[in-house]
Structures are given as C-alpha cells and as structure tokens.
Amino acid sequence: MFELSKQFYFEAAHTLERSIETESSRRIHGHTYHAEITVRGAPDPATGMILDLGLFTRALDSVRAELDHRFLDDVPGLGPATLENLCVYLWKNLAPSLPGLNRVSVWRQASGDKCTYFGPEEA
Ligand SMILES: Nc1nc2c(c(=O)[nH]1)N=C([C@H](O)[C@H](O)COP(=O)(O)OP(=O)(O)OP(=O)(O)O)CN2
Ligand SMILES: [Zn+2]
C-alpha cells in the first residue's frame, strides 16, 4: 500500500462566531491556510503510478481557486469557516475526482493549528 500526497496553500479572510475572543473573531481577518491531500492505493503496474501527479494537481487547482483570495463566509456549502469545515469542504469537492482519497489536513502555520479529516464515518 502506498500514499501519495500533495500540499497547497491559499490566502483567505473570514469572520467567526465564538464564545471567547468574540469581538476580534467577528471582525474580518485573514489567514494563510495550508492543505495536504492524501490518496492511498497501489500503483498500476502499467504506469507505475497510484495517480498521475498532473491529474492530482488539476483537481487541487480547481478547488483552490474556490478558496484562494475569497471571503470564506460567502463560499457556498462551507458553513462557519473553521479548519474542520475547510477539511470537509475539500473532501466533498475532491472525492469525486480523487479515487482512494484517504485524508485531508488543513493548518495555519503561523499559529500551529491543524485539523485532519479521514472522511465520513462508515454506516
Ligand atoms: N476548533 C477550531 N477553533 C477555532 C478555529 C478553528 O478553525 N477550529 N478558528 C479560529 C479562528 O479562525 C481564529 O482566527 C484563530 O483564533 P485564535 O486561535 O484565537 O488565534 P489568533 O486569532 O490569535 O490567531 P492567528 O492565526 O495568530 O491570527 C478560532 N478557533
Ligand atoms: Zn480566523
């Protein structure tokens, strides 16, 4: 079994309703977000690849464009712009084009905050 990962980053602004630091969180502020997407699988014997990195990059470029330099509060389907919801958003948008999607991580380097999502719970 192999894992293949790619990272990217995006810059975005948001507000957040919280029970602490209420006022500063409600103000529009921004972060540099980093993301890592991981697929698991076995390489195709003919190509030697789990997934062509060029196709991997195309899938990530398209979802990155929906988040980079955006006001995250306005991104349809995201909900409150937390690291958790960004992971779910990336998963939902990438799963159809990335077979073997295994996990999605989103973090903010500046603060050391990181979240990893392993996909929906199996019923
Ligand atoms: N479980 C989560 N909690 C919080 C999240 C989150 O995504 N998941 N996000 C935030 C806010 O985005 C907030 O801006 C970060 O707040 P805080 O940790 O208080 O730190 P700073 O605002 O000082 O962070 P900088 O990244 O240094 O600007 C809050 N909670
Ligand atoms: Zn924030």
How far apart, in whole angstroms, are the C-alpha atoms of residue 48 and residue 43?
5
* Phi and psi torsions of 24, nearest 5°: -70, -30
Q: Is the dihedral of CA 38, 40, 45, 51 positive or negative?
A: negative
Inter-residue contact 64 to 70 (CB < 8 Å): no
Determine the pLDDT at residue 122.
74
| Least distant ligand from the CA of 112 | 1
Determine the pLDDT at residue 96.
97
CATH fold for domain 2-117: Tetrahydropterin Synthase; Chain A (3.30.479)
How far apart, in whole angstroms, are the C-alpha atoms of residue 104 and residue 8?
12
Determine the pLDDT at residue 121.
85
How far apart, in whole angstroms, are the C-alpha atoms of residue 120 and residue 76?
20
Which residues of the chain register pLDDT less than 50? Answer: none
Q: What number is the ipTM of this complex?
A: 0.90
User: Ligand 1: residues whose CB is within 6 Å?
Assistant: 16, 18, 21, 25, 31, 82-84, 108, 110-111
Q: Which of 82, 84, 107 to mutate to test the pocket of ligand 1 (most atoms within 8 A of CB)?
A: 82
Determine the pLDDT at residue 66.
98
Determine the pLDDT at residue 123.
66
Tens of pLDDT along 24-55? 999 999 999 999 999 999 999 999 999 999 99
Q: Where are the domains of the chain?
A: 2-117
Determine the pLDDT at residue 24.
94
